[in-house]
Amino acid sequence: MKVLSVVGARPNFVKIAPLLREMAGRGEIESVLVHTGQHYDARMSDDFFAALAIPAPDFNLAVGSGSHARQTAEVMTRFEPVLESVRPDLVLVVGDVNSTLAAALTAAKLGIRVAHVEAGLRSFDRSMPEELNRLATDAIADELFASEESAVENLAREGVPSERVHFVGNVMIDALRLTRPLWQASTIVADLGLDRLPRYGAVTLHRAANVDDPDRLRQITGALQALARHVPLIFPVHPRVRPLLDGHDVRWLDAAAPVPAQGLVCTEPLGYLDFVALVSRAAVVLTDSGGIQEETTILGVPCLTLRENTERPATVRHGTNRVIGVAPHRIVEEGLFALTQPPLRRTPPPRWDGHAAARIVDVLVRATVPVAA
């Protein structure tokens, strides 16, 4: 059985790592890896491959950046001949980035079975590019792997036959557990001089809705500055956001000096192990990322989601996440509240137990091996 897995952007690398590891341990699977090249910087791609022990891709489509239409079209154009030469039994896609949808659509049009990991998550906000990618990918996938119960319910409501939906848990949590000794050994907290401070917070921000409108971004950074008078906030900046912060009241990390006891301090993007290490010891995290809502749930770190909605409600119900929007007064109030009264840890969401990849590969093997075999 030949499984071709596709990755393109940072969160995909984290999700595919445990799946590739699991497939490598099963004799019946021949695994092929395609990197679309959506993310290409060393810090956005190579560092993740190294930290997560992902083998070098068999194909790199090197599509790079571009508008959504161009990026999606480039992946489709360059992926089609790869599929025609490799002829896999199944194409495995993860998450909700442009590469996910482009690869799924190309495979489905060639009549190749598609499996989608992290299917069924819905923010019900179609202004998010990721929501369109999720809806369209799930509409054409043959096997849909759900990370949480809300996703199973969403797919049922959309009329997906239940035999195609598999509630397997969360591969991102598999990755977090598998790499625990490595991120626990990271020295990033000491390297930044954060170990001499009583506490610190971490920030990430990259969603178009939050960063593309200069007024909105200014409001958010202003609120973060106000909160940072009480607790220093470390902000690893996505390359796309860096130029958008020009002229904002933010300070960049000075390599020669430790992080000051207060203020919002920007850094280059961190690799996976350093980022998880930073988050694991933070007093609070403020983010608009999807995956970080999940990681903080398991790490037991208060997470304030700077969005109006989440496609990951299990992180609110079972975890430490609060969806607070971006009103400046709320960011400050909720930040201070999280510092003084951190949420109690609850039982983790069902099946976020480190075995999601094994469940997925079990299903793939069953679904593709002919019944008579």
Q: State which H helix or E strand residue 203 sits in.
A: strand 201-204
Q: Could you tell me which of 361, 366, 351, 353 has the C-alpha nearest to residue 151?
A: 351
CB 265 → ligand UD1: shortest distance, Å? 20
CA distances from residue 60 to 32, 50, 184 in whole angstroms, order as listed: 12, 16, 31
Q: What residues numbered 236-275 form the site for ligand UD1, per CB under 6 A?
A: 238-240
Total binding residues toward ligand UD1, as defined by CB under 6 A: 20
Q: What residues numbered 71-90 form the site for ligand UD1, per CB under 6 A?
A: 71
| Site map 129..148 versus ligand UD1, x via CB under 6 A | xx------------------
**What does 220-257 look like in DSSP terms, one character per residue?**
HHHHHHHHTTTS-EEEEPPTTTTGGGTTSS-EE--TTS
Catalytic residue at 248?
no
Query: Is 310:292 a contact under the CB 8 Å cutoff?
Result: no
**What does 55-101 look like in DSSP terms, one character per residue?**
PPPSEE----S--HHHHHHHHHHHHHHHHHHH--SEEEEESSSHHHH
Q: How far is it, in rounded angstroms, from Cα 362 to Cα 356?
A: 10
Q: Is 206 in the site for ligand UD1 (CB under 6 A)?
A: yes
Stretch that binds ligand UD1, among 25-33, 77-85, 91-99, 271-279 (CB under 6 A): 91-99
Residue type, 264: L
35, 39, 206, 355: the active-site residue: 206
| Site map 2..31 versus ligand UD1, x via CB under 6 A | -------xxx--------------------
Q: How far is it, in rounded angstroms, from Cα 158 to Cα 100?
A: 20
CB 261 → ligand UD1: shortest distance, Å? 30
Q: How far is it, in rounded angstroms, from Cα 39 to Cα 119?
A: 22
CB 218 → ligand UD1: shortest distance, Å? 19
Please say which residue, 100 or 154, places its beta carbon nearer to ligand UD1: 100
Q: How far is it, in rounded angstroms, from Cα 119 to Cα 126?
A: 16
CB 210 → ligand UD1: shortest distance, Å? 11
CB 134 → ligand UD1: shortest distance, Å? 10
Phi-psi label, residue 307: left if phi above 0, alpha if psi -120 to 50, beta otherwise: beta
Stretch that binds ligand UD1, among 38-46, 173-181, 328-336, 345-353 (CB under 6 A): 38-46
Name which position in 30, 62, 65, 191 contacts ligand UD1 (CB under 6 A): 65
Active site residues: 206
Binding site for ligand UD1 (CB under 6 A): 9-11, 38-41, 44-45, 65, 71, 96-98, 129-130, 206, 238-240
